[in-house]
Structure 1
Amino acid sequence: MSTATDLSLTSLPTADGFQGLLATVRDLRPRLLEEQDATERRGTFAPEMHAMLASTGLYKAQQPRRYGGHELDIPSFLTLVRELARGCPGTAWCFCLSAGHHIQMAGMFDASVQDEVYGSVSDFLAPGRPVPMGTAEWVEGGWRVNGLWDYCSGSPYSTHALVAVRIVGGPHQQPIGLVVVPRDQWSMLDDWAGSVIGMAGSGSNSIKMVDALVPEGYLIPGGMMGVAGGADAPGYRLHGNPMYCGQSAGYAQLEIASILVGTARAATDEYERLLRVKKTPGPNPQPRYTAGEHQRAFASATALADAAQDVLDNAAQRYSGFCVDAVNSPQGFSPAAAGRTAMAANQAVDLAWQAVDLCFKMSGSSEGARNGARMQRYYRDFSMARTNIVPKFDMEAERFAEAYFAG
């Protein structure tokens, strides 16, 4: 197993294959745009798109090199997610919240468990549900898991599930834990498509486990967002990469923000298209892109989307620096650092929302209000995402300030 000391950001692993993967995502954009409506009706992207994401190596973007992945750094992975969302927000949500959980799998679980789990599949994909909506009961040599977890985004094509549980018996003293469960031990409910106002293509189905049996090491004590990261994390000891220092808090907000900043880019793209093909009303119609009110709106929306992206990129880079600090400090990853990351990510979300809202308002009723219109879909997708518990600045601000002054 490898270790590292006195790390700096310049010594992090390079983003091998990033430019190729980025080009692949951008090449997929026309198809993603074309399939948006079908993705929304289906509840997730098509099996053909799933096969394409697998064959191009996109699913391996964040997977450790030890297990055949690219091990992209966090800013690079989030860029891929953002570009996917520019083509289809629902697809990006489903992809990110299944292919983006190596931070937990490769960071928190012991080497022997990682060898078994990663060794059983080519691409590790798993929804992560941090709310303990089921139980793990100690049985000889392992755990019996039962429960029903809703909002398991990414579950349609996942190979495993990462879910929080209430611990019953066993060697651990903590009341809750995180368990990884193979796909053949759980079932996905058909309860997502057509059930929500937006992000209907995100594959956020519920999953159910009935007497699922997993080995002892497949459960780690503590909450997904509450496990302290640092040099002692199994993932850092195994991979020597601070990205796998066992810290989730803060990263979850970056994931959601990357999807929503990409959605803002999608909205500005669509608004530009409308300006080029539509004319102003009245006796002397003119191309909308020549009208002052539309020029001002497009410029403002572009600036807001640019600012959102800048904030997100810097927050992701800062988070990577916090991971380096965590493995160089006996205190590990501080709650204040997690809170600072989350707040910045949520500021990016707020800027992105302003861009989407402006594009929606200025697109006109024939686009903003019409069922099937892309602009309406982006507005609905973003509106749905804002109800998620993650992009809530005020909640993160209180947690950050409490941790900051306690330190």
Structure 2
Amino acid sequence: MSSNNTSQIAAASALGRLSPVANAPSLESIVAAATQLVPLLREQGQQTEINRRLSEEMSRRFEEAGFYRLMQPARYGGYEYGFTAMMDLISEIGRGCASSAWAAALGVIHNWLLALFPEQAQDDVWGPTPNALMCGSYAPVTMAEPTEGGWLIQGKWKFASNVDNSQWAVLGVQFPPAEKGAPPGAGFVVVPRREWTIEDDWFVAGQAGTGSKTVVIGKPSFVPAHRRLLFPEAASGKAPGTAVNTNPVYTIPFLAAMPVCLASPLLGAAQGAIDVFVDMCGSRVTRGGAGGGGNRLSGFSHVQSRLAGAAAAVDAARLVLDRDTSEVEHTVSAGNAISVDKRIRNRRGHAYSAKLCHGAIQDLFTTVGASGLTLDQPIQRIWRDGNMIAQHITLNWDAVSTMAGQQMLGLEPKGAY
């Protein structure tokens, strides 16, 4: 590789990690704040799981550190960093607690998503409360009813992560077709906390601390027309919000980079598993059985090999995510569109990175033995959290790889890209 190509790649990689906002804190300082929280997040991981939510105190710490402002528009006090910066931050939080990282990731990404809505919707949310948080449930599970000035919606939306700490909800809705005989159109609406209640139904084997409960709107609720963003608008790179938020980061098509926010907690969790594994192997001495008694776990060759393999998998996952996401940021910064080939290539990268991290966690967990099974051991929680994240349909390898293979074979790709 020539030095010129190397410098071009370095420049592309740096785009999303540089804030265009005067006096914004450096990414290094923001990530350093996350690093300082890792021991506390790990220490509180079991209690976070028992509580089934991110605590108000930890959410406040995230807010004070500026995490939620990472991708928020500058005119509301945000820093306008890109998706690569988000990956750096969320994966670092994930080293301490995957559930907490997931909750933080959704808080960050919804501030980016709201920036795609019409200006009035942004003012509704951030005008009175610039630090307002939003949960979200994207599946368009209900049909909106047209009414004067907007829409009426009613229903239940599951899996709204970090709902307990949120003042607004981003909800998926179907809209009646504009023309007779046309199919309905799907999109998002934003709804304030006073219009919905929380159904406490999040009882799960992994990622329990995300608080991904159900948003309930029990009677028809009015949503002004300006609080709607259609799915095609979010995917177009020319959403209504780009008229006022001119940073190219807001022209990135929704699925070309957004799934990075879901892969990043798993990336961090896998690194956290490595950290915990190294600590366990350094101190643990075998009690007997097949391995004999009095031997350090770190002295076994299969332990050494599993650790090296896990580290290589996490390294590879990070490189894939960084390459794909950096390229998206570089492309839109140059004023170019993201092709379908690149969108699907990126979706493949999101899912394969998750597969690599999931495999790394699995390999380490199967090596630590019975000592890793107690509920106060972080590695068993990382294992359960990692399995949960890898099952998410956005990262599910079977679903995404099929779509990628269809594209490579010249078939119509069936999936979300």
TM surpasses 0.5? yes
Matches of residues 217-366 of structure 1 in structure 2 within 5 Å?
Answer: 217-222=226-231, 227-230=234-237, 232-245=238-251, 247-282=253-288, 283-324=292-333, 328-329=335-336, 332-366=337-371
Distance 1:335 1:227, change over 3 A: farther
Matches of residues 121-140 of structure 1 in structure 2 within 5 Å?
Answer: 121-140=129-148
Whether contact under 8 Å (2:15, 2:82) holds in the other structure is: no
- For residue 3 of structure 2, what is the aligned residue in structure 1? none
Q: How far is 1:359 from its partner?
A: 0.8
Give CA deviations for 1:161-189 in whole Å, capped at 9, x if unaligned. Answer: 11111224889974322111112211112
Q: Which moved more, 1:111-120 or 1:137-146?
A: 111-120
Q: How far is 1:45 from its partner?
A: 1.8
- For residue 6 of structure 2, what is the aligned residue in structure 1? none
Distance 1:200 1:273, change over 3 A: same
Q: What's the RMSD between the two structures over aligned residues?
A: 2.5
Whether contact under 8 Å (1:98, 1:153) holds in the other structure is: no
Whether contact under 8 Å (1:191, 1:206) holds in the other structure is: yes
- For residue 52 of structure 2, what is the aligned residue in structure 1? 43
Matched, 1:180 2:183: no
Q: How far is 1:58 from its partner?
A: 1.4
CA distance in 2, matches of 1:101, 1:221: 15
CA distance in 1, matches of 2:295, 2:171: 55
Matched, 1:101 2:105: no
- For residue 83 of structure 1, what is the aligned residue in structure 2? 92
Give CA deviations for 1:217-254 in whole Å, capped at 9, x if unaligned. Answer: 1123346xx74323x33233322212111621132321
Among 78, 89, 100, the residue aligned to 1:69: 78
- For residue 375 of structure 2, what is the aligned residue in structure 1? 371
> Unpaired segments of 5 or more residues in structure 1?
1-7
CA distance in 2, matches of 1:156, 1:339: 34
Partner SS, residue 240 of structure 1: coil
Q: How far is 1:200 from its partner?
A: 0.3
Whether contact under 8 Å (1:21, 1:57) holds in the other structure is: yes
Give the AA of the match of 1:375: I
CA distance in 2, matches of 1:54, 1:181: 21
Give CA deviations for 1:311-348 in whole Å, capped at 9, x if unaligned. Answer: 222222123234336xx34xx44333221111111111
- For residue 386 of structure 2, what is the aligned residue in structure 1? 382
Distance 1:315 1:240, change over 3 A: same
Whether contact under 8 Å (2:206, 2:381) holds in the other structure is: yes
Whether contact under 8 Å (1:235, 1:245) holds in the other structure is: no
TM-score (norm. length: structure 1):
0.88
Distance 1:184 1:20, change over 3 A: same
Q: Which moved more, 1:160-169 or 1:198-207?
A: 160-169
Give CA deviations for 1:29-58 in whole Å, capped at 9, x if unaligned. Answer: 111011101100111121111111122221
Give the AA of the match of 1:270: V
> Unpaired segments of 5 or more residues in structure 2?
1-10
Matched, 1:165 2:170: no
Give the AA of the match of 2:264: S
Partner SS, residue 77 of structure 1: helix
Identical columns (%): 28
- For residue 7 of structure 2, what is the aligned residue in structure 1? none
CA distance in 2, matches of 1:290, 1:389: 39
CA distance in 2, matches of 1:176, 1:47: 33
